[in-house]
Structure 1
Amino acid sequence: MDGTRGIGVRTAAALMCAAALSACGAGGGTADGDGAGTRSPSPPASASATPSDTPSDAPSEAPAEDPAKDLDRLAVEQNWGIDGPASAWIARMCAEFDDQDRAGQPPGKWLVEDFGPTPDEEAALTAGMPELCTRWWPEIGKALGAVEKRAYPDGVYEVSGAPGEDPELIEPGTYRAADPTASCSWQRTSPDGDVLDGQRATTKAPLTVTVQATDGTFTTKGCGVWKPVR
Protein backbone atom coordinates (compact mmCIF):
# COMPACT_ATOMS: atom_id res chain seq x y z
CA MET A 1 0.00 0.00 0.00
CA ASP A 2 2.78 2.41 0.86
CA GLY A 3 4.69 1.42 -2.28
CA THR A 4 1.65 1.95 -4.44
CA ARG A 5 1.11 5.40 -2.91
CA GLY A 6 4.75 6.27 -3.61
CA ILE A 7 4.40 5.24 -7.25
CA GLY A 8 1.20 7.25 -7.57
CA VAL A 9 2.84 10.30 -6.12
CA ARG A 10 5.79 10.01 -8.49
CA THR A 11 3.48 9.48 -11.42
CA ALA A 12 1.42 12.54 -10.54
CA ALA A 13 4.56 14.62 -10.17
CA ALA A 14 5.78 13.50 -13.56
CA LEU A 15 2.48 14.39 -15.18
CA MET A 16 2.48 17.83 -13.57
CA CYS A 17 6.01 18.46 -14.82
CA ALA A 18 5.05 17.40 -18.34
CA ALA A 19 2.06 19.70 -18.25
CA ALA A 20 4.23 22.55 -17.10
CA LEU A 21 6.73 21.99 -19.92
CA SER A 22 3.92 21.87 -22.44
CA ALA A 23 2.57 25.21 -21.17
CA CYS A 24 5.99 26.81 -21.48
CA GLY A 25 6.24 25.65 -25.07
CA ALA A 26 2.83 27.06 -25.95
CA GLY A 27 3.79 30.41 -24.48
CA GLY A 28 6.76 30.83 -26.80
CA GLY A 29 9.50 28.83 -25.08
CA THR A 30 12.48 30.14 -23.26
CA ALA A 31 14.54 33.06 -24.38
CA ASP A 32 17.54 30.81 -25.10
CA GLY A 33 15.64 27.80 -26.44
CA ASP A 34 15.70 26.52 -30.01
CA GLY A 35 12.79 25.65 -32.27
CA ALA A 36 9.65 27.19 -33.64
CA GLY A 37 8.44 28.38 -30.29
CA THR A 38 11.42 30.63 -29.70
CA ARG A 39 10.52 34.36 -29.74
CA SER A 40 12.43 36.66 -32.13
CA PRO A 41 14.27 39.44 -30.32
CA SER A 42 12.49 42.82 -30.36
CA PRO A 43 14.22 45.58 -32.37
CA PRO A 44 16.25 48.02 -30.31
CA ALA A 45 14.21 50.89 -28.95
CA SER A 46 16.60 53.33 -30.59
CA ALA A 47 15.66 52.06 -34.07
CA SER A 48 12.11 53.39 -33.81
CA ALA A 49 13.11 56.56 -31.96
CA THR A 50 15.70 57.75 -34.48
CA PRO A 51 14.93 61.45 -35.20
CA SER A 52 14.31 62.62 -38.73
CA ASP A 53 17.26 64.15 -40.57
CA THR A 54 15.20 67.36 -41.07
CA PRO A 55 13.21 68.40 -37.98
CA SER A 56 9.64 69.33 -38.81
CA ASP A 57 9.94 72.57 -36.88
CA ALA A 58 13.12 73.76 -38.65
CA PRO A 59 12.81 77.39 -39.85
CA SER A 60 12.16 77.82 -43.56
CA GLU A 61 14.55 79.82 -45.73
CA ALA A 62 13.69 83.50 -46.22
CA PRO A 63 12.47 84.31 -49.75
CA ALA A 64 15.01 85.92 -52.04
CA GLU A 65 14.76 89.70 -52.36
CA ASP A 66 13.45 91.11 -55.64
CA PRO A 67 14.26 94.85 -55.98
CA ALA A 68 11.97 95.23 -59.01
CA LYS A 69 8.93 93.79 -57.23
CA ASP A 70 9.75 95.78 -54.11
CA LEU A 71 9.84 99.00 -56.14
CA ASP A 72 6.58 98.20 -57.93
CA ARG A 73 4.88 97.49 -54.61
CA LEU A 74 6.20 100.77 -53.15
CA ALA A 75 4.97 102.71 -56.20
CA VAL A 76 1.46 101.32 -55.70
CA GLU A 77 1.52 102.06 -51.97
CA GLN A 78 2.69 105.64 -52.57
CA ASN A 79 0.41 106.12 -55.58
CA TRP A 80 3.23 107.48 -57.74
CA GLY A 81 2.18 108.87 -61.09
CA ILE A 82 4.57 106.69 -63.10
CA ASP A 83 3.97 105.50 -66.67
CA GLY A 84 3.53 101.74 -66.17
CA PRO A 85 5.26 99.61 -63.52
CA ALA A 86 7.94 101.63 -61.74
CA SER A 87 10.62 98.99 -62.35
CA ALA A 88 9.94 99.04 -66.11
CA TRP A 89 10.06 102.84 -66.10
CA ILE A 90 13.44 102.76 -64.34
CA ALA A 91 14.70 100.35 -67.02
CA ARG A 92 13.58 102.75 -69.76
CA MET A 93 15.19 105.71 -68.00
CA CYS A 94 18.42 103.76 -67.58
CA ALA A 95 18.44 103.02 -71.32
CA GLU A 96 17.77 106.71 -72.01
CA PHE A 97 20.77 107.66 -69.85
CA ASP A 98 22.87 105.33 -71.99
CA ASP A 99 21.57 107.01 -75.16
CA GLN A 100 22.26 110.50 -73.81
CA ASP A 101 25.78 109.47 -72.81
CA ARG A 102 26.47 108.08 -76.31
CA ALA A 103 25.19 111.34 -77.77
CA GLY A 104 27.68 113.30 -75.66
CA GLN A 105 25.12 114.68 -73.19
CA PRO A 106 25.81 114.06 -69.48
CA PRO A 107 22.76 112.07 -68.24
CA GLY A 108 22.48 114.05 -65.02
CA LYS A 109 22.44 117.35 -66.87
CA TRP A 110 19.88 116.01 -69.36
CA LEU A 111 17.64 114.80 -66.53
CA VAL A 112 17.60 118.14 -64.72
CA GLU A 113 17.64 120.56 -67.64
CA ASP A 114 15.71 118.76 -70.40
CA PHE A 115 13.59 116.02 -68.87
CA GLY A 116 12.53 117.76 -65.65
CA PRO A 117 11.31 114.90 -63.42
CA THR A 118 8.13 115.30 -61.41
CA PRO A 119 8.25 114.72 -57.64
CA ASP A 120 6.88 111.19 -58.15
CA GLU A 121 9.49 110.47 -60.80
CA GLU A 122 12.23 111.78 -58.53
CA ALA A 123 10.97 109.49 -55.78
CA ALA A 124 10.99 106.50 -58.15
CA LEU A 125 14.51 107.29 -59.38
CA THR A 126 15.79 107.67 -55.83
CA ALA A 127 14.16 104.44 -54.64
CA GLY A 128 14.86 102.28 -57.69
CA MET A 129 18.14 103.31 -59.28
CA PRO A 130 20.53 102.18 -56.50
CA GLU A 131 19.49 98.57 -57.21
CA LEU A 132 18.14 98.64 -60.78
CA CYS A 133 20.45 101.14 -62.54
CA THR A 134 23.62 101.08 -60.49
CA ARG A 135 25.90 102.32 -63.29
CA TRP A 136 24.16 105.70 -63.47
CA TRP A 137 23.01 106.15 -59.89
CA PRO A 138 26.06 108.13 -58.63
CA GLU A 139 25.61 110.78 -61.34
CA ILE A 140 21.80 110.81 -61.23
CA GLY A 141 21.75 110.87 -57.44
CA LYS A 142 24.00 113.92 -57.49
CA ALA A 143 21.80 115.59 -60.11
CA LEU A 144 18.65 114.93 -58.08
CA GLY A 145 20.34 116.50 -55.06
CA ALA A 146 20.99 119.61 -57.15
CA VAL A 147 17.35 119.71 -58.20
CA GLU A 148 16.25 119.61 -54.57
CA LYS A 149 18.48 122.57 -53.72
CA ARG A 150 16.95 124.59 -56.55
CA ALA A 151 13.29 124.05 -55.64
CA TYR A 152 11.14 127.10 -54.94
CA PRO A 153 7.90 126.99 -52.90
CA ASP A 154 5.54 129.94 -52.31
CA GLY A 155 7.35 133.24 -51.92
CA VAL A 156 8.90 136.30 -53.56
CA TYR A 157 12.32 135.69 -55.11
CA GLU A 158 14.85 138.18 -56.40
CA VAL A 159 16.33 137.16 -59.74
CA SER A 160 20.09 136.65 -59.56
CA GLY A 161 22.67 135.13 -61.86
CA ALA A 162 24.41 133.50 -58.89
CA PRO A 163 21.81 132.63 -56.23
CA GLY A 164 24.08 130.25 -54.36
CA GLU A 165 22.43 129.05 -51.15
CA ASP A 166 20.39 132.21 -50.58
CA PRO A 167 16.74 131.06 -50.25
CA GLU A 168 15.43 134.45 -51.38
CA LEU A 169 17.21 134.40 -54.75
CA ILE A 170 16.24 132.54 -57.93
CA GLU A 171 18.43 131.82 -60.93
CA PRO A 172 17.20 132.66 -64.45
CA GLY A 173 15.83 129.62 -66.25
CA THR A 174 12.70 127.63 -67.01
CA TYR A 175 10.81 126.15 -64.07
CA ARG A 176 7.94 123.70 -63.78
CA ALA A 177 5.30 123.30 -61.07
CA ALA A 178 4.13 119.70 -61.32
CA ASP A 179 1.36 119.75 -58.73
CA PRO A 180 -0.19 123.23 -58.35
CA THR A 181 -3.49 123.99 -56.68
CA ALA A 182 -6.45 125.32 -58.64
CA SER A 183 -5.77 128.77 -57.12
CA CYS A 184 -2.10 128.91 -58.15
CA SER A 185 -0.80 132.29 -59.30
CA TRP A 186 2.63 133.53 -60.33
CA GLN A 187 4.10 136.82 -61.54
CA ARG A 188 7.30 138.14 -63.07
CA THR A 189 8.25 141.78 -62.55
CA SER A 190 10.99 144.08 -63.83
CA PRO A 191 13.68 145.53 -61.52
CA ASP A 192 11.45 148.66 -61.37
CA GLY A 193 8.44 146.63 -60.24
CA ASP A 194 6.50 146.62 -63.51
CA VAL A 195 4.51 143.42 -64.19
CA LEU A 196 6.06 141.55 -67.13
CA ASP A 197 4.04 138.36 -67.11
CA GLY A 198 1.76 136.37 -64.84
CA GLN A 199 -0.94 133.76 -64.60
CA ARG A 200 -3.78 132.75 -62.31
CA ALA A 201 -4.51 129.06 -62.76
CA THR A 202 -8.03 127.63 -62.92
CA THR A 203 -7.03 123.95 -62.96
CA LYS A 204 -4.44 121.74 -61.29
CA ALA A 205 -2.57 121.13 -64.55
CA PRO A 206 1.26 121.43 -64.39
CA LEU A 207 2.65 124.88 -65.18
CA THR A 208 5.86 126.13 -66.77
CA VAL A 209 7.42 129.59 -66.54
CA THR A 210 10.69 131.06 -67.79
CA VAL A 211 12.44 133.55 -65.52
CA GLN A 212 14.58 135.92 -67.60
CA ALA A 213 17.97 137.26 -66.52
CA THR A 214 16.56 140.80 -66.92
CA ASP A 215 13.66 140.14 -64.49
CA GLY A 216 13.61 141.74 -61.09
CA THR A 217 11.48 139.31 -59.05
CA PHE A 218 9.44 136.14 -59.36
CA THR A 219 6.40 135.72 -57.11
CA THR A 220 4.47 132.46 -56.64
CA LYS A 221 1.53 131.45 -54.47
CA GLY A 222 -0.40 128.16 -54.29
CA CYS A 223 1.65 126.56 -57.07
CA GLY A 224 3.46 124.00 -54.98
CA VAL A 225 7.16 123.72 -55.74
CA TRP A 226 8.87 125.08 -58.86
CA LYS A 227 11.84 123.08 -60.14
CA PRO A 228 14.16 123.83 -63.06
CA VAL A 229 13.67 122.01 -66.32
CA ARG A 230 16.38 123.62 -68.42
Structure 2
Amino acid sequence: MRHAFGVGAAALCAAVVLVGCTDGPSKTGEAAGAGPTSPSPSSTPTAANPRVVAPAAGPEEQFNALALGSRFFFDGQGTASAAAAMKRYCELLGEKELNGLPPAQWLAEKELTKPDGPRVLGDGVSRFCPERGATLKAASEGSYERWFVAGTYEVGSGPKQMPAGSYVAAGALRDCYWERTSKSGEVLDNQFATSAQETRVTVRAGDGQFTSRGCGAWKPES
Protein backbone atom coordinates (compact mmCIF):
# COMPACT_ATOMS: atom_id res chain seq x y z
CA MET A 1 0.00 0.00 0.00
CA ARG A 2 2.81 2.40 0.74
CA HIS A 3 4.31 1.83 -2.69
CA ALA A 4 1.00 2.53 -4.42
CA PHE A 5 0.54 5.80 -2.43
CA GLY A 6 3.97 6.95 -3.47
CA VAL A 7 3.27 6.37 -7.17
CA GLY A 8 -0.01 8.22 -6.88
CA ALA A 9 1.69 11.17 -5.23
CA ALA A 10 4.30 11.36 -7.98
CA ALA A 11 1.66 11.26 -10.68
CA LEU A 12 -0.34 14.01 -8.94
CA CYS A 13 2.78 16.16 -8.69
CA ALA A 14 3.41 15.76 -12.42
CA ALA A 15 -0.19 16.71 -13.23
CA VAL A 16 0.02 20.00 -11.32
CA VAL A 17 3.58 20.94 -12.20
CA LEU A 18 2.35 24.19 -13.76
CA VAL A 19 1.08 25.49 -10.43
CA GLY A 20 3.90 24.02 -8.31
CA CYS A 21 4.26 21.06 -6.01
CA THR A 22 6.32 20.53 -2.90
CA ASP A 23 6.79 17.80 -0.33
CA GLY A 24 7.01 20.30 2.53
CA PRO A 25 6.11 23.80 3.57
CA SER A 26 7.29 26.71 1.44
CA LYS A 27 10.45 28.46 2.59
CA THR A 28 8.63 31.77 2.37
CA GLY A 29 5.72 30.56 4.46
CA GLU A 30 3.28 31.08 1.55
CA ALA A 31 0.82 28.44 0.43
CA ALA A 32 2.09 26.21 -2.35
CA GLY A 33 1.41 27.58 -5.79
CA ALA A 34 0.35 31.03 -4.47
CA GLY A 35 1.66 33.93 -6.52
CA PRO A 36 2.69 37.36 -5.18
CA THR A 37 -0.18 39.27 -3.64
CA SER A 38 -1.11 42.81 -4.66
CA PRO A 39 -0.95 45.42 -1.90
CA SER A 40 -4.23 46.92 -0.78
CA PRO A 41 -4.72 50.66 -1.43
CA SER A 42 -4.29 51.33 2.29
CA SER A 43 -0.95 49.47 2.57
CA THR A 44 2.06 51.35 3.87
CA PRO A 45 4.53 52.31 1.09
CA THR A 46 7.63 50.11 0.93
CA ALA A 47 10.55 49.65 -1.46
CA ALA A 48 8.59 46.90 -3.19
CA ASN A 49 5.36 48.93 -3.15
CA PRO A 50 6.35 52.60 -3.43
CA ARG A 51 3.08 53.86 -4.88
CA VAL A 52 0.03 53.78 -2.66
CA VAL A 53 -3.12 55.44 -4.02
CA ALA A 54 -4.65 57.82 -1.49
CA PRO A 55 -8.46 57.98 -1.36
CA ALA A 56 -9.89 60.83 -3.45
CA ALA A 57 -11.05 63.91 -1.50
CA GLY A 58 -14.80 64.41 -1.35
CA PRO A 59 -16.64 67.62 -2.31
CA GLU A 60 -16.56 68.91 1.29
CA GLU A 61 -12.79 68.46 1.58
CA GLN A 62 -12.23 70.03 -1.84
CA PHE A 63 -14.36 73.05 -0.96
CA ASN A 64 -12.70 73.44 2.45
CA ALA A 65 -9.32 73.54 0.73
CA LEU A 66 -10.57 76.14 -1.78
CA ALA A 67 -12.01 78.40 0.92
CA LEU A 68 -8.92 78.02 3.13
CA GLY A 69 -6.72 79.16 0.27
CA SER A 70 -8.86 82.24 -0.39
CA ARG A 71 -9.48 85.53 1.40
CA PHE A 72 -13.22 84.94 1.65
CA PHE A 73 -14.91 84.42 5.02
CA PHE A 74 -18.39 83.24 5.95
CA ASP A 75 -20.31 85.39 8.42
CA GLY A 76 -20.98 83.45 11.62
CA GLN A 77 -18.86 80.49 10.54
CA GLY A 78 -17.18 80.09 13.93
CA THR A 79 -15.58 76.68 14.33
CA ALA A 80 -17.70 75.08 11.60
CA SER A 81 -16.04 74.04 8.36
CA ALA A 82 -16.35 76.18 5.24
CA ALA A 83 -18.43 73.43 3.61
CA ALA A 84 -20.88 73.46 6.53
CA ALA A 85 -21.11 77.27 6.34
CA MET A 86 -21.72 77.12 2.59
CA LYS A 87 -24.54 74.61 3.05
CA ARG A 88 -26.10 77.03 5.55
CA TYR A 89 -25.80 79.82 2.97
CA CYS A 90 -27.59 77.55 0.50
CA GLU A 91 -30.51 77.33 2.94
CA LEU A 92 -30.54 81.10 3.42
CA LEU A 93 -30.73 81.70 -0.33
CA GLY A 94 -34.05 79.87 -0.32
CA GLU A 95 -35.63 82.46 2.03
CA LYS A 96 -37.88 85.25 0.78
CA GLU A 97 -35.65 87.89 2.31
CA LEU A 98 -32.36 88.16 4.21
CA ASN A 99 -31.74 91.07 6.59
CA GLY A 100 -34.60 92.91 4.91
CA LEU A 101 -33.25 92.33 1.38
CA PRO A 102 -34.15 89.88 -1.38
CA PRO A 103 -31.59 87.02 -1.54
CA ALA A 104 -30.05 88.17 -4.83
CA GLN A 105 -29.50 91.70 -3.49
CA TRP A 106 -28.08 90.30 -0.24
CA LEU A 107 -25.61 88.22 -2.23
CA ALA A 108 -24.66 91.10 -4.50
CA GLU A 109 -24.21 93.78 -1.82
CA LYS A 110 -23.04 91.75 1.19
CA GLU A 111 -21.22 88.66 -0.09
CA LEU A 112 -20.00 89.02 -3.68
CA THR A 113 -18.24 92.25 -2.70
CA LYS A 114 -15.94 90.34 -0.31
CA PRO A 115 -12.47 89.36 -1.60
CA ASP A 116 -12.72 86.12 -3.62
CA GLY A 117 -16.49 86.10 -3.02
CA PRO A 118 -17.54 85.36 -6.61
CA ARG A 119 -15.06 82.48 -6.93
CA VAL A 120 -15.79 80.79 -3.59
CA LEU A 121 -19.56 81.25 -3.66
CA GLY A 122 -19.75 80.23 -7.30
CA ASP A 123 -17.94 77.00 -6.52
CA GLY A 124 -20.07 76.40 -3.42
CA VAL A 125 -23.38 76.92 -5.20
CA SER A 126 -22.38 74.58 -8.03
CA ARG A 127 -21.32 71.88 -5.54
CA PHE A 128 -23.99 72.03 -2.87
CA CYS A 129 -27.08 73.84 -4.22
CA PRO A 130 -27.13 74.20 -8.00
CA GLU A 131 -30.84 75.01 -7.70
CA ARG A 132 -29.73 78.41 -6.32
CA GLY A 133 -27.79 79.14 -9.50
CA ALA A 134 -30.47 81.52 -10.80
CA THR A 135 -30.18 83.63 -7.63
CA LEU A 136 -26.39 83.75 -7.96
CA LYS A 137 -26.68 84.69 -11.65
CA ALA A 138 -29.12 87.53 -10.87
CA ALA A 139 -26.80 88.80 -8.13
CA SER A 140 -23.78 88.69 -10.44
CA GLU A 141 -25.58 90.49 -13.25
CA GLY A 142 -27.47 92.99 -11.07
CA SER A 143 -30.79 91.86 -12.53
CA TYR A 144 -32.86 91.87 -9.33
CA GLU A 145 -35.37 94.11 -7.59
CA ARG A 146 -33.67 96.43 -5.10
CA TRP A 147 -35.07 97.21 -1.67
CA PHE A 148 -33.91 100.01 0.62
CA VAL A 149 -33.62 99.57 4.38
CA ALA A 150 -32.79 102.15 7.04
CA GLY A 151 -30.17 104.69 6.02
CA THR A 152 -29.55 107.67 3.77
CA TYR A 153 -29.33 107.20 0.00
CA GLU A 154 -28.35 109.57 -2.76
CA VAL A 155 -31.02 109.73 -5.43
CA GLY A 156 -29.78 108.48 -8.79
CA SER A 157 -29.25 105.45 -10.98
CA GLY A 158 -25.87 104.34 -9.63
CA PRO A 159 -25.25 101.00 -7.90
CA LYS A 160 -25.41 102.51 -4.39
CA GLN A 161 -28.08 105.09 -5.16
CA MET A 162 -31.86 105.04 -4.86
CA PRO A 163 -33.64 105.47 -8.19
CA ALA A 164 -36.52 107.89 -8.44
CA GLY A 165 -39.92 106.21 -8.20
CA SER A 166 -42.73 105.18 -5.87
CA TYR A 167 -41.99 102.96 -2.87
CA VAL A 168 -44.02 101.27 -0.15
CA ALA A 169 -43.02 100.04 3.30
CA ALA A 170 -45.43 97.58 4.91
CA GLY A 171 -45.66 95.62 8.16
CA ALA A 172 -46.00 96.46 11.83
CA LEU A 173 -44.32 99.87 11.59
CA ARG A 174 -43.37 101.61 14.81
CA ASP A 175 -41.84 105.08 14.96
CA CYS A 176 -41.28 105.09 11.21
CA TYR A 177 -39.66 108.28 9.90
CA TRP A 178 -38.64 109.26 6.38
CA GLU A 179 -37.60 112.46 4.64
CA ARG A 180 -36.73 113.67 1.18
CA THR A 181 -34.08 116.37 0.96
CA SER A 182 -32.63 118.55 -1.78
CA LYS A 183 -29.03 118.25 -2.94
CA SER A 184 -28.20 121.04 -0.45
CA GLY A 185 -29.90 119.15 2.40
CA GLU A 186 -33.14 121.18 2.61
CA VAL A 187 -36.09 119.06 3.74
CA LEU A 188 -38.58 118.77 0.86
CA ASP A 189 -41.04 116.39 2.51
CA ASN A 190 -41.12 114.09 5.53
CA GLN A 191 -43.41 111.96 7.69
CA PHE A 192 -43.34 110.36 11.12
CA ALA A 193 -45.72 107.55 12.09
CA THR A 194 -45.78 106.16 15.63
CA SER A 195 -47.79 103.18 14.38
CA ALA A 196 -48.79 102.15 10.87
CA GLN A 197 -49.39 99.11 8.69
CA GLU A 198 -47.90 100.67 5.58
CA THR A 199 -46.63 103.96 4.24
CA ARG A 200 -45.74 105.28 0.79
CA VAL A 201 -43.35 107.80 -0.67
CA THR A 202 -42.50 109.08 -4.15
CA VAL A 203 -38.83 109.89 -4.63
CA ARG A 204 -38.39 112.44 -7.41
CA ALA A 205 -35.56 112.68 -9.92
CA GLY A 206 -34.58 116.14 -8.70
CA ASP A 207 -34.22 115.04 -5.06
CA GLY A 208 -30.81 114.91 -3.49
CA GLN A 209 -31.19 112.31 -0.73
CA PHE A 210 -33.73 110.00 0.86
CA THR A 211 -33.45 109.09 4.56
CA SER A 212 -35.42 106.48 6.46
CA ARG A 213 -35.39 104.81 9.88
CA GLY A 214 -37.76 102.41 11.61
CA CYS A 215 -39.70 101.72 8.41
CA GLY A 216 -38.33 98.33 7.46
CA ALA A 217 -37.64 97.85 3.75
CA TRP A 218 -38.86 100.20 1.05
CA LYS A 219 -39.90 98.17 -2.00
CA PRO A 220 -40.66 99.51 -5.49
CA GLU A 221 -44.42 99.86 -5.87
CA SER A 222 -45.73 97.98 -8.86
Using the size of structure 2 for normalisation, the TM-score is 0.41
By percentage of residues, which structure has more strand?
Answer: 2
Higher relative contact order (CA 8 A, sep 6+): 1
By percentage of residues, which structure has more helix?
Answer: 1
